[in-house]
Structure 1
């Protein structure tokens, strides 16, 4: 199982992740998404096309992050690989 890594485009408000999404990795992504939102991005794009797998706990953390962003007037957009659920 590969570790989750992220590449951040702070100017564009995009986070590209690769590896395996666990609760710990999703928590890292959530912190990055929240930081991008606080820095002025109403919409943050989370690109998961290079994620090879995810566990339920990791997906739960991302759902919570999307809800928190929406409650604060933001939007988390998720891009997943074709054929994989977002």
Structure 2
């Protein structure tokens, strides 16, 4: 299953999810809104049985401080729940 989330107005962000593989690919500039959407997607993948979720940020051109904070929190939350969030950058 592949889903593409269109970017919010005024941003250049795309999220591609490959649910069967537990993979999220983000592109563009990552804001706190985009990171929060990534968090929701990662949580849904974890809740559907993925112990490991891969977040591919190689297509991200930049991220604001709040977005980075959200991703750090998400990484910690996965670890505390016994899962693993792998971040490719």
After TM superposition, the score normalised by the length of structure 1 is 0.88
State which of 67, 70, 73 in structure 2 corresponds to 1:64: 73
In structure 1, the partner of 2:32 is 23
Q: 1:2 offset after TM fit, Å?
A: 3.8
| 1:4-43 correspondence to structure 2 within 5 Å | 4-43=13-52
Higher RCO (CA 8 Å, separation ≥ 6 residues): 1
Give unpaired runs (5+ residues) of structure 2. 1-9
State how many pairs are aligned.
Answer: 80
SS at match of 1:73: coil
In structure 2, the partner of 1:76 is 85
SS at match of 2:21: coil
CA RMSD of aligned residues (A): 1.1
Q: Whole-Å Cα distance in 2 between the matches of residues 3 and 72 of structure 1?
A: 32
Structure with the bigger percentage of strand: 2
SS at match of 2:61: strand
Which deviations, in whole Å up to 9, do the C-alpha atoms of 1:21-78 show, x marking residues without a partner?
1111000000000110111111100000000111111000000111111111111000
After TM superposition, the score normalised by the length of structure 2 is 0.85
SS at match of 1:18: strand
SS at match of 2:66: helix
Q: Runs in 1 of length 4+ with deviation above 4 angstroms? A: none
